Structure 1
């Protein structure tokens, strides 16, 4: 018993001594508070000024600006007859506006300029067949995926047994038409450097140029390839069951806004749960 009391007394004397020197006040009291504050600031979702979110700005102004290229069926297409956008992601964007309680304003962009335009605050969100990848995620926030796809060759039906592998296409004799600035061109530059590649500014022109023999191959996504093959019997969407790549489409917003990103992810979850993405798939893709 005496030994135990002696230990308690000794501990008390040491504590008083440390307080007197200021050691406890600096290291044993202040440090845990600093660590807790630092940990909270580095925690996922921490935002220094919670009010500074683009979500509130969109709601307050009464409209959301939707950036899209208008050249990528079936996700986005600027119909020259009506001068209106139409497609899977056009309808999805209208759903987003309705759920936010705001109007939708479509803003024209291009694949080479999409990220720069988003960063320059020309629009609030980029949609229209935007591929999820780590390169984009370095400079923006790309949402969860809503549809899977892969890169495949769109070719003439008469050549359906001719271009079955990368090696079959990656030859100087093979003429490839590709749109600039997107993942189609990135794929071609990385894997088909030996082919005869021509950059075609308007993505909508390439399928017809393949069909009429100007080019042999268009590298594009499974969804777009199947769409054009259904519309033109001269065309064939090859390897759709075993594409060269596996990816997903998502929506892209400025990075660093946890509140805005959280709303977008929740909205997409609800679109899936309520079957609205399925309905869009049936309308525009099946």
Structure 2
């Protein structure tokens, strides 16, 4: 009886092992890698309001940016067309889960988003830092200098910028502005004093607008990384996209795409 019980246990372990080692296709589960190929389309969620990573021209509707070009390269490697699905920072995760294969455009890694989607490997290290009129750079070096009555800090709603500002600014006035494409005009015009956003964006906007200066972008207030969102649980697709991204970061693809934007 003891020998029989041992034999049954061994057979059970082997059976379980064979199931756990099976690929998704062998288990009858599909992967987005196959779905995208069969569909002939890569659906890409992006906000279109965060240069240099994503931008949608309000006049023409044309899309551009580092991450849009990267998504185009990904679609090409997959042998499919790219379709851009417009979204907002407030609805990014919900829109992604409903109808996209990947979300791009300077998406910061957060634990809350990681509840609902996988991230690829990070491709940019970043953090929150101020951007202000150049004559005010000395006034806004620290959070203590910023968080004072009378200081007006502008935010775009729904993303990590608003979360950071509302968590750290208790005395300063936090001003919401719905359009991230025009938000920096408010600083230029002096209607607000500054914005705290990702260092990469402050560098780009300072390059675009000579009246504005990025405040210590090399030493931001926080540490964050940017990556792409892919479907939760689909390890096959995540690993394939990770390998594509790893190659792009080392074979000159990312550098070639980013250079026109970053110099």
Q: TM-score, normalised by structure 1?
A: 0.86
Q: What do the CA deviations read for 1:67-96 (whole angstroms, capped 9, x no partner)? A: 000000111110123311001011101101
2:87 to 91, 102, 109: 109
Instruction: Summarize the alignment of residues 93-242 of structure 1 with structure 2, pairs less than 5 Å apart.
Output: 93-120=71-98, 122-242=99-219
Distance in 2, matches of 1:46 and 1:135, equals 29
Matched, 1:256 2:233: yes
8 Å CA contact 2:19–2:27 kept in 1: the answer is no
Q: Unpaired runs of 5+ in structure 1?
A: 1-18
Q: CA deviation at 1:42?
A: 6.1
Q: Which secondary structure does the structure 2 equivalent of 1:160 belong to?
A: helix
Distance in 2, matches of 1:104 and 1:156, equals 38
2:4 to 25, 34, 41: 25
- Report the aligned-residue RMSD: 1.9
Q: TM-score, normalised by structure 2?
A: 0.93
Distance in 2, matches of 1:29 and 1:254, equals 41
Name 1:64's counterpart in structure 2. Answer: 42
Q: Which secondary structure does the structure 1 equivalent of 2:190 belong to?
A: coil
Distance in 1, matches of 2:147 and 2:11, equals 61
Distance in 1, matches of 2:177 and 2:139, equals 23
The higher radius of gyration belongs to: 1
Distance in 2, matches of 1:40 and 1:216, equals 62
Q: Unpaired runs of 5+ in structure 2?
A: none
Structure 1 pair 110–49 and aligned structure 2 pair: CA distance change class (3 A): farther
Structure 1 pair 199–35 and aligned structure 2 pair: CA distance change class (3 A): farther
1:246 to 216, 219, 223: 223
